[in-house]
Amino acid sequence: MSRPTEVTVSSIAIPQLCLVALVGASGSGKSTFAAHQFGRFEVVSSDFCRGLVADDENDQTVSADAFDVLHYIAGKRLAGGRLTVVDATNVQREARRQIVEQALAHDVLPIAIVLDVPESVCLERNRDRPDRDFGPHVVRRQRDQLRRSLRGLAKEGFRQVHVLRSVEEIESVTVVRERLYNDRRDEHGPFDVIGDVHGCRSELEALLDRLGYAVVRDDAGHAVDAVHPEGRRAIFLGDLVDRGPDSPGVLRLAMGMTAAGHALAVPGNHEHKLIRALSGKQVKIGHGLAETLEQLEQQPREFRDAALRWCRDLVSHLVLDDGQLVVAHAGLKEAYHGRASGRVRAFALYGDTTGETDEFGLPVRYPWANDYRGRAMVLYGHTPTPEPEWVNNTMCLDTGCVFGGHLTALRYPEREVVQVPAEQVWYEPVKPLTPAASVPSRGGDDLDLTDVLGRRVVETAHHGRVSVRAENAAGALEVMSRFALHPRWLPYLPPTMAPVATSPLPDLLEHPAEAFAAYAADGVEQVVCEEKHMGSRAVVLVCRDHETATRRFGAPAGETGAVYTRTGRSFFSSGLTAALLDGVRAAVDTAGLWDELGTGWLLLDAELLPWSAKAESLLRGQYASVAAAARSALPAAVTELTRAASRGLDVSALLDRTTARSDNAAAFTDAYRRYVWPVDGLDGVQLAPFQLLASEGATWHDRPHLWHLGLADRLVAADPVLFRPTRRLEVTPSSASSVAAGVEWWTQLTGSGGEGMVVKPAANLVRGRKGLVQPGLKVRGREYLRIIYGPDYTLPANLDRLKDRGLGHKRSLALREYALGLESLERLARAEPLWRVHEPVFAVLALESEPVDPRL
């Protein structure tokens, strides 16, 4: 606790993040001081807030409302981690109580700076300001209140109290800001973060050895330091002591390493208790403390004193590596990172307890990591678990070494777990070890509504920030909740694809020439034309076995993957899906891809045929229905017009047009019929994979498309009934002959009833001068477009108008969705928590509800 200090030096130091209360009578110069020492927005003044609510900075009748506003603003700033200064007289205890409370509510330090100038100065200043028409008794009263308050400020909860006694002092002093003890953002590692040691010195030495450290010993043979040849440093997560055989030995090593700059450490609850015991406080001796005290008893007094000092100086949590890593013994929720308060410290030492105790008499811990949504990795110990596992970018490294488990370290930033087994059970556990996450579901799989609802901005690695409007998110929530598969099975939704620029040719809407020209303009040297299958876009997630599905995706019994549509719906019932996945799995087995790619699961981008398997109701209800109406109405009209013509009436133009429309109706009928073939269960269903999206630890958008198609060919070879090949042709956009061959290929393909083709940069993901290049352009066939634009779209009068179509929005959407898709794949491959993978997936679905012409 600090006492009020008389400032004699020319500077006062305050924490970088704190809530500063200026205290002083009216006219003591607070606002001037604040303006000199703090930023324009850092200072929130009560006078200004009076002005905000009542147009008058001196209207005392609105003080209550003005302070509401003031605290609201201050609260928002503090929540954002910004230093804030309250410029008000603050001479009354009640006013200061609110400030202290607000600081604690945001876990920042309340600081008081008192401007204690003579009454005469205040009175004189107020006289010069005609708007301050209150009498001298007001200033006098404020001065009295201030004087009476001064002594008690520290007791009121202010963690620093700085008193400036004269005008000269106020004018000459400088406020400097110092970083918090927990702020070690300038430390970038690499680190080896070590879980609860509990006096297991021998295992600790073994672990350090395995991590590559050379243990340094003193003359007596005690380990006193450990040095890594590459300059790596250890971080101890606390609970070095108690229960185990050699707590002093562990302390000695850790103290030596920290002193030599080879390690950092945070305290655990056991150190906390040890401090109290060594300081002579009343402590209940339990949980292995007795052993430690006994062991320390045999050490020289100097060592005990040094150990006490060392433990006492430990800071309860550290924020490292530009804020990307946070370490604390029991973990720390995001709102507490880099903050300082009693409850932050309590959380860091003891975790988030519910206040209840379980059947073993141990405190019930709230699984805070399940809710964790922060960007920083949090490493912690405290709760023994059999296996370290990632829960929302957090990991508990206490694997119960002292109870006969393992001593565990995590290499940072490599995220590699390194373990040594316990030499023996040193201490019998009170209760058996259980996994960190709540059983039966994986804790990190819980998605929160706040993960998806409202306006959202998703950071993508390839296309910057992509934003999603609130109303689109609301619509996507309905689709995702009512029709889609569980998000665990939807690590990716395919992006929309832009069509090629509109063709200038008289009879066509789309033609390959524009695709080749577009890629030539983007500097793409080689493209691949891929046949556009006459089916539905399908994503296939297949696991090698049920164990992988459960471990990696939290699959319920019987599920080993999913086959789903562009909006995340399952194509088939669970039984048929399982059978289809069996077929896919068998083909992957035969092709030998599991081992070749080093993975237990694959995510494939594919087309599922026939279209009627998914879209029969659309085909029947819309396409066939319209054709039936046309086939009924138009021939009758032709008949009547012919009769009229035979009477000599001039209906020739109308008759010609109606005859052409009747032919179009027939062509339209032919066009949709190609998409219908009978399917019985899975008989007749085919998959045409064309890209491997992701596998364990890897995404594949940097592999050329021919590599992907080569993989697909191997699946086709393994099972030519279930899999269907994708025809392809490489084209060099800068070569006229190659382009001509590409055009001919498309003409043949679509002339014989094919849907069209997709042109992609052969290298796969390509960046141009203006960022991402379109990952593909679709060039659809003339007859296929009839079922998109209607039977009569080819009539010149219609086609001319249809050619006037805006593609800009569609292209921009295609790129944004592409980047979101890549983002979800990369997060999946990095094994990030489900909510992180789900975020861009949900965003794709939300973007799909943006109003864009669905025919593009």
- Binding to other proteins (CB under 8 A) within 712-771 occurs at none
Q: Which stretch binds other proteins (CB under 8 A): 130-138, 579-587, 653-661, 722-730?
A: 653-661
The DSSP result for 328-341, as a single string, is: ETT---GGGTT--S
Q: How far is the CB of 233 from other proteins (least distance, A)?
A: 18
Cβ distance to other proteins smaller for residue 144 or 478: 478
Please give the helix or strand (H or E) that residue 309 lies within, else none.
helix 301-313
From candidates 54, 105, 308, 741, binder to other proteins by CB under 8 A: 105
Q: Which stretch binds other proteins (CB under 8 A): 236-244, 540-548, 646-654, 748-756?
A: 646-654
Candidates 132, 54, 841, 31; CA nearest to 492 is 841
Q: How far is the CB of 379 from other proteins (least distance, A)?
A: 19
Q: How far apart are CA 573 and CA 591, in angstroms?
A: 27
Q: How far apart are CA 746 and CA 40, in angstroms?
A: 65
From candidates 46, 385, 548, 658, binder to other proteins by CB under 8 A: 658
From candidates 474, 679, 682, 740, binder to other proteins by CB under 8 A: 474
| Residue 446 lies near other proteins (rule: CB under 8 A) | yes
Strands 601-609 and 536-543: antiparallel
Six-digit token pair at 822? Answer: 């890549």
From candidates 356, 595, 680, 683, binder to other proteins by CB under 8 A: 356
| Residue 98 lies near other proteins (rule: CB under 8 A) | yes
Q: How far is the CB of 218 from other proteins (least distance, A)?
A: 28
Six-digit token pair at 54? Answer: 């009542």
Q: How far apart are CA 703 and CA 735, in angstroms?
A: 24
From candidates 69, 260, 576, 644, binder to other proteins by CB under 8 A: 644
Which residues between 313 and 342 bind other proteins (CB under 8 A)? Answer: 313, 315-316, 333, 335, 340-342
Please give the torsion angle defined by the CA atoms of residues 335, 340, 344 and 350, in that order, rounded to the nearest 10 degrees.
140
Cα-to-chain-centroid distance, residue 220: 51
Largest CA distance in the chain: 126
Q: How far apart are CA 566 and CA 493, in angstroms?
A: 6
Six-digit token pair at 268? Answer: 């655990």
| Residue 574 lies near other proteins (rule: CB under 8 A) | yes
Cβ distance to other proteins smaller for residue 106 or 262: 106
| Residue 783 lies near other proteins (rule: CB under 8 A) | no
From candidates 630, 685, 694, 819, binder to other proteins by CB under 8 A: 630
| Residue 623 lies near other proteins (rule: CB under 8 A) | yes
Indicate the SS3 state at residue 823.
Answer: helix
Cβ distance to other proteins smaller for residue 196 or 271: 271
| Residue 447 lies near other proteins (rule: CB under 8 A) | yes
Please give the helix or strand (H or E) that residue 558 lies within, else none.
none
Indicate the SS3 state at residue 304.
Answer: helix
Q: Which stretch binds other proteins (CB under 8 A): 126-134, 155-163, 200-208, 401-409?
A: 155-163
From candidates 190, 367, 413, 768, binder to other proteins by CB under 8 A: 367
Q: How far is the CB of 413 from other proteins (least distance, A)?
A: 25
| Residue 159 lies near other proteins (rule: CB under 8 A) | yes
Which residues between 1 and 30 bind other proteins (CB under 8 A)? Answer: 1, 13-16
| Residue 449 lies near other proteins (rule: CB under 8 A) | yes
Which residues between 405 and 444 bind other proteins (CB under 8 A)? Answer: 438, 441
Q: How many residues bind other proteins (CB under 8 A)?
A: 110
In b/e form, how buried is each residue of 413-432, taking b as 16+ CB within 10 angstroms?
eeeebbbbebeeebbeeeee
| Residue 627 lies near other proteins (rule: CB under 8 A) | yes
Q: Which stretch binds other proteins (CB under 8 A): 68-76, 124-132, 541-549, 810-818?
A: 68-76
Cβ distance to other proteins smaller for residue 101 or 663: 101
Candidates 12, 81, 74, 89; CA nearest to 43 is 74
Strand segments (E) across 329-383: 353-357, 363-365, 377-380
From candidates 487, 494, 499, 840, binder to other proteins by CB under 8 A: 487
| Residue 482 lies near other proteins (rule: CB under 8 A) | yes
**Side chain identity at 813, as an amino acid letter?**
L
The DSSP result for 471-498, as a single string, is: HHHHHHHHHHHHTSPPGGG-S--PPP-E
Cβ distance to other proteins smaller for residue 251 or 315: 315
| Residue 663 lies near other proteins (rule: CB under 8 A) | no
| Residue 294 lies near other proteins (rule: CB under 8 A) | no
Indicate the SS3 state at residue 378.
Answer: strand
Candidates 70, 80, 12; CA nearest to 43 is 70
**Which residues lie across from 193 on neighbouring strands?**
235, 410
| Residue 647 lies near other proteins (rule: CB under 8 A) | yes
